[in-house]
Structure formats: structure tokens, C-alpha cells
Amino acid sequence: MKKGFSGQKVCVLGCGGFIGSHIVERLLGTTDLEVVGLDIASEKIEPFLKRDRFTFARVNVYDTDTVRGWIEGCGTVVSLVAICNPSLYNTIPLDVIEANFTRPMEIVRICAELNLRLIHFSTCEVYGKTIFGIDRAGREEPKEPDEYLLNEDRTPLILGPVSAQRWSYACAKQLLERAIYAYGFEKDLDFTIVRPFNFIGPRMDYLPGFDGEGIPRVLACFISSLLKGEPLKLVDGGKNRRCFTYIEDAVDAFVEILNNPEICSQQILNIGNPGNEVTIEGLARQMIEVFSELNPDREKLTITTVNVSSREFYGPGYEDSDRRVPDNSKIYRLLRWRPKTNLRDTLLKTMKYYIDVYSKQRELWPV
């Protein structure tokens, strides 16, 4: 399709977040691209702020006029800004819809108007409820990969009722995907939509009770409990499954997308690791094991798990995706990308980071 990216500036909206910070690090470390980063927060990118080829602007991406000024001179816009914490979907759904549809819609309009390439980070959650036994007309859970793998261009997107506000996020993200797609169709917008599947790694979420309150995603909840010596909470028994993807593998995929604008133009791509599927209960077990390995000096760990109901943990209106396994055939066919890091190594690298950082900051520990 249109333009390549070489020699052009890349603007990363939300560069101070988990995924953004890893993208910035990689672009500065392994390419010669000029990078412009916009965010209100910069703690996660502190080491990169003074690097050549990186311009950071402390900008609220809701301030579209200012954002417009910054992205005007860039060839590619990477859009990462979102509220993506499930505990907020049913507690502040208006903010969730605003942050995941209304505001980023303005960015899409600007990209179309200025003829910029847009790489938009959506979510695997747009696939919605994938529970086959209940939602798909009472069928048995399928055994064949063709039946359970989530495919970008074939799998239906199934959400719960409006009163189950968990789906406010998936619905907002899905509508934004549809709008981006329509801009491609009607206005020739050069876009790629990415659907991340549970990326984990260093610099992810805050740890509750240490440097934040509330409920972050499961990895941070479990690390926080491990550090505090408390039981890991399994929501509704921890039976749901996820495919955890190491952030460096995910960034490899992103770089391939960035490097191949023509192949990826007007495509939707899963980025995930189907080989790392695990129940949340299984994740808890593996994390307890890895934590013991990384802390050989600690007294024998007696940390266990405890079941909590989703209503108690997240409040009313919470529902869950039971299973999300990406079909990786499209991204492999187009870009020859496959994830490399298994779940154990992913947990080792990620948990080592958290243990190192938080052990050094004893002042953050709850008294």
C-alpha cells in the first residue's frame, strides 16, 4: 500500500506505560529511527529520556490539539493509550468507554486526515466470552485447534449483556477497531490493529500494598501476595485460562509489523503465545514454585491459594473470558513471527525483576 517507514519519525502515544516503555527501549536500542513519545507519566522510561533520537513530551493524550501538533511531523503513530485493568471495567465504565473509544477515536481521525500510518493496540478481549460449553449453544468444549483458536478474520466476537459491565471495555475496544477498519475502507487509512494476549514482563503493573492500591492484573496481584507471604486469591476457583506472552517476544512481533508496512496494511493481527496456555490456578502454582527458587534463603514457603468469588473480588457486573488462545497462523504467514519464550522462563524473568526492584525498596513494603 502506501509509504514505508524508514527515515520517518515514529510517535508512541502512551510511551510511559508497560508496552510503550518496552517499544521505546527497543526502537532506541536496535533501530536508527527518531522516536517521539507522549505520555503524562515517565517513570518507566526514565533511563531513556536523555537518549539521542528520543523526544519525550509530557502531554495528556486527551488534549488532541497538542497531540495533533506532535504527530503531524511523524510517519507512523503507535497508539497504546487505554484503561486496561479489569477491576475498573465494572466500577468506572464511563471512564473506560471514554478512554478506550471516545478519546482514541480522535487520534484515528487525525491519522486519517494527515495520512499517517496507524499501529493501534487493541486487545484479545474483543473476542469476548469464549466459553464453548455455555455460550456456544451448549456444545462440548472443542478439542480441535481449528475450533478453539481465536482467528482475527473468522472468529465471532461474543460479549455478555449490557448489565454485565465487564464488557464495557471489550465493547469500546471493538467499536474502535470497527471504526479504524471503516476508515481504512472508506478513507484508505493505512492501519494495523494488534490484539495483545496477556503480555507480561518487567515494568508491568504496580504492586498493591507496595506502590499502589486497588486491583491490578493477575501477575502483580500474585507477586504482591508472594512478597507479603499471603495466600494467592483465585477468582472463582482460578479455572479460567490465559496465554501469557513474554513482552520481548511481543516487541519482536511489533518490530516486524513496523518494518513491513505494506504487508501489514489494513490487517488485524493477534500477538500471543498459544503454547503458554495455563489456568489461573496453574499460574499460581508455577509462581509459588518460581518464587521459592528465586528466594532460596527464605524459610520454606508455606504460601497457598484461597478461592474468592468474582463478586467479592471485583464487585457486581464482573464476568470473565474463560479461554483465549490465539491463532498465530496469520502473523506467521505474513511476518514469520513466532513467540520463543515458554511460561516458566517468562515467569522467571518477570518475577526476578519484581523481586530485585521491590527488595531494594524496603520503604515501599507495607508495615
Residue 315 identity: G
Residues 6+ apart with CB under 8 A from 118: 76, 77, 79, 107, 108, 111, 180, 189, 190, 191, 192
Going by C-alpha positions, the residue among 67, 63, 66, 70 that lies closest to residue 34 is: 70
In the complex, least distance from residue 240 CB atom to ligand UGA, rounded to whole angstroms: 4
Annotated catalytic, 169? yes
In the complex, least distance from residue 158 CB atom to ligand UGA, rounded to whole angstroms: 15
Tell me phi and psi for residue 189, to 5 degrees: -60, 135
Interface of this chain with ligand UGA, residues 299 to 328, rule: CB under 6 A: 320
Residue 270, H or E segment: strand 267-271
Point out the catalytic residue in the list 89, 127, 148, 169.
169
Of the candidates 28, 45, 84, 287, which one interacts with ligand UGA according to CB under 6 A? 84
Tell me the window of 104-112, 152-160, 232-240, 358-366 that interacts with ligand UGA (CB under 6 A).
Answer: 232-240
x/- map, 42-81, ligand UGA, by CB under 6 A: ----------------------------------------
C-alpha cell at 168: 464495557
In the complex, least distance from residue 199 CB atom to ligand UGA, rounded to whole angstroms: 5
x/- map, 187-216, ligand UGA, by CB under 6 A: ---------x-xx-----------------
Question: What is the sign of the dihedral through the CA atoms of 173, 176, 180 and 182?
Answer: positive
Residue 64, H or E segment: helix 64-71
Nearer to ligand UGA, 190 or 322 (CB): 322
Give one DSSP letter per residue of 105-155, joined into a string: HHHHHHHHHHT-EEEEE--GGGGB---HHHHTTTPPPP-SHHHHEE-TTTS
Of the candidates 13, 234, 290, 351, which one interacts with ligand UGA according to CB under 6 A? 234
Residues 6+ apart with CB under 8 A from 74: 8, 9, 10, 11, 36, 116
Tell me the window of 21-29, 117-125, 154-162, 285-293 that interacts with ligand UGA (CB under 6 A).
Answer: 117-125
Residues that bind ligand UGA (CB under 6 A): 84, 86, 123-125, 169, 196, 198-199, 217-218, 221, 233-235, 238, 240, 242, 280, 320
Q: Could you list the active site residues?
A: 169
